[in-house]
């Protein structure tokens, strides 16, 4: 029974770690969609860029892919964010003037192109075989301390990103963003350069997504183009944000943990069934997540934690 409790403990640590990484990802989406009103359906692409950059920069030399730099984790993470930011800038220049659903289609297309590049440029990425033996912070510690320490790193980074985004949200910059999202014409009339603000929101969001990707690469110690799969890397993040509450950073984090727990724990229920049924019910998990999403879209489009607007300085609190 001791072993079982210890096992549950490890499982909860893994839930929180994945949940934490997804929370960082959802915060990135929140910057783009919640605050700036940009429907980026290409999350998986930027996530993948971050993951591969971190992998390439931290692994030892290997014949199958570009690597051997063996840089420290922090350097690799920052590099991942920078590269993602630069690519986001390029993509933004092309796509940001598009209306919402056009932007969705365009960004999905871009994510697909990234995936094909990752698959086909085998000299750099080892193609579909992926990059393995990615180093992981604290991995030399004995169990469970290695998992706990890594979790601490993820949660610490999550906190840092959250604080920075909250500061940004309450700042004048943040207010302009929501103003643009809600009424672009008025914002323009007030003299704000809408394109620049949109670009900033897009780039920052993509940089945060890349950071999440880097963490994922270290956590899994392996990355391949399947990591940019639309289901687990894009759609589920939208569900997390809608359910948690878009335009609310706490909501984004909450949604990430709730939906990831729901997703992971639902498999425990299906594995109680005999194998023959368990295989078929694997598809039902996806159905349930979709149904949860529809439910929220119809009944609680604001999500669990609705948006809270910062009050203007000098105004009475209503």
Partner 1 sequence: MNEFINFYLIPGLVLGSIYALGAIGITMTFGILRFANFAHGETMTLGVYFTWSLVQFTDIHPLLLLPVSMVLTVGCVLLIDRGFYKPLRNSPTIILVIASFGLMLMVRSVVQFFWGVQLKTVLPGIQMPIVWFDYLRLSPKHIYIIGGALVLMYAVHYLLTYTKIGKAMRAMSDSPELARLTGIDTEKVVRTTWIVGATLACAAGVFLAVDTQVDTMMGFNLLLPMFAAAILGGVGKPYGAMAGGLIIGIAEEISTYPWLGDLWQFNPGYKQAIAFFIMIIMLLWRPTGLFRGKSF
Partner 2 sequence: MKIVRKLALSACVAAMFATAAHADAIKVGSAGGVTGPIAELVATIIKGRDLARDQINAAGGLLNGDTLEMVVGDSACDPKASVDAVGKLVNVEQVVGIVGPSCSGATNAAVQAVTIPAGVVVLSDSATAPSVTELKDNDTVFRVAPSDAYQGLAIAKLISKAGIKKVAMTYSNDDYNAGIAAVFEREFKAMGGEVTANQAHEPKKASYRSELQTLTAGGPEAIAIFAYYGSSGITIIKNSLENGLFSKFYAADGMFDQSVIDQIGADNLKGKISITQASSDTGDSSYQAFADAFKATGADPAAPYAAHGYDATFMMALAIEKAGSADRAKIKDGLRAISNGTGEIVRPGEWAKAKKLIADGTAINYEGASGSADFDENGDVSGVFAVNVVGDDGKWTKALLK
Instruction: Provide the binding-site residues for partner 1, judged by CB under 8 A.
Output: 33, 39, 94-95, 98-102, 104-106, 108-110, 112-113, 116, 119-120, 231, 235, 238-239, 242, 280-281, 283-284, 286-287, 289-291, 293-294, 297-298, 301
Q: How far apart are CB 8 and partner 1 at their closest, in Å?
A: 29
CB of 110 or CB of 187, closer to partner 2: 110
Q: How far apart are CB 132 and partner 2 at their closest, in Å?
A: 5
Residues ≥6 apart with Cβ < 8 Å to 27: 158, 161, 162, 165, 208, 249, 252, 253
Q: How far apart are CB 91 and partner 2 at their closest, in Å?
A: 23
CB of 8 or CB of 102, closer to partner 2: 8
The count of other CB atoms within 10 Å of the CB of residue 42 is: 30
Cα separation values, 106 from 100, 207, 213, 219, Å: 10, 19, 21, 30
**Dist CA 245 CA 266 (whole Å):** 22
Q: How far apart are CB 12 and partner 1 at their closest, in Å?
A: 27
List contacts with partner 2 (CB under 8 A): 3-4, 7-11, 14, 18, 64, 116, 119-120, 122, 127-130, 132-133, 136, 139, 143, 146-147, 216, 219-224, 226-227, 229, 232, 243, 258, 261-262, 264-272, 275-276, 278-279, 282-283, 286, 292, 300, 304-305
Q: How far apart are CB 294 and partner 1 at their closest, in Å?
A: 6
- The one of partner 2, partner 1, none whose footprint includes residue 153, by CB under 5 to 8 A per kind, is none
- What are phi and psi for residue 3, nearest 5 degrees? -60, -40
- The one of partner 1, partner 2, none whose footprint includes residue 11, by CB under 5 to 8 A per kind, is partner 2
Q: How far apart are CB 312 and partner 2 at their closest, in Å?
A: 28
CB of 121 or CB of 139, closer to partner 1: 121
Nearest to 241 by CA among 20, 44, 33, 96: 33
Q: Do residues 54 and 127 make contact, with C-beta atoms less than 8 angstroms apart? A: no
- The one of partner 1, partner 2, none whose footprint includes residue 284, by CB under 5 to 8 A per kind, is partner 1
CB of 163 or CB of 269, closer to partner 2: 269
- The one of partner 2, partner 1, none whose footprint includes residue 83, by CB under 5 to 8 A per kind, is none
- The one of partner 2, partner 1, none whose footprint includes residue 70, by CB under 5 to 8 A per kind, is none
- The one of partner 2, partner 1, none whose footprint includes residue 147, by CB under 5 to 8 A per kind, is partner 2
CB of 146 or CB of 266, closer to partner 1: 266
- The one of partner 1, partner 2, none whose footprint includes residue 175, by CB under 5 to 8 A per kind, is none
**Dist CA 211 CA 217 (whole Å):** 10
CB of 86 or CB of 117, closer to partner 2: 117
Q: Do residues 150 and 243 make contact, with C-beta atoms less than 8 angstroms apart? A: no
């Amino acid at each position: 029974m001791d072993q079982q409790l210890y096992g549950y403990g490890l499982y909860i640590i893994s839930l929180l770690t994945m949940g934490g990484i997804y929370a960082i990802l959802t915060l990135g989406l929140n910057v783009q969609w919640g605050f700036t009103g940009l429907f980026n359906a290409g999350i998986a692409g930027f996530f993948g860029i971050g993951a591969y950059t971190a992998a390439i920069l931290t692994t030892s030399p290997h014949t199958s892919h570009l690597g051997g730099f063996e840089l420290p984790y922090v350097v690799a993470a920052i590099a991942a964010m920078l590269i993602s930011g630069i690519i986001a800038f390029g993509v933004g220049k092309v796509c940001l003037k598009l209306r919402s659903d056009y932007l969705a289609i365009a960004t999905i297309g871009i994510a697909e192109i990234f995936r094909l590049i990752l698959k086909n440029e085998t000299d750099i990425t080892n193609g579909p075989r992926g990059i393995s033996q990615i180093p992981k912070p604290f991995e030399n510690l004995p169990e469970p301390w290695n998992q706990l320490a890594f979790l601490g790193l993820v949660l610490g980074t999550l906190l840092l990103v959250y604080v920075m985004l909250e500061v940004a949200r309450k700042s004048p910059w943040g207010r302009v963003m929501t103003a643009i999202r809600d009424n672009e014409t008025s914002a323009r009339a007030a003299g704000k350069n809408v394109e620049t603000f949109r670009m900033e929101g897009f780039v920052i969001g993509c940089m945060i997504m890349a950071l999440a990707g880097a963490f994922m690469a270290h956590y899994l110690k392996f990355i391949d183009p399947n990591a940019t799969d639309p289901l687990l890397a894009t759609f589920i993040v939208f569900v997390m944000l809608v359910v948690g509450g878009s335009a609310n950073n706490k909501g984004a984090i909450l949604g990430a943990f709730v939906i990831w727990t729901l997703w992971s724990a639902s498999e425990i229920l299906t594995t109680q069934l005999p194998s023959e049924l368990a295989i078929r019910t694997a598809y039902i998990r996806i159905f349930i997540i979709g149904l949860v999403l529809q439910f929220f879209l119809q009944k609680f489009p604001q999500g669990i934690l609705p948006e809270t607007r910062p009050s203007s300085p000098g105004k009475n609190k209503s």
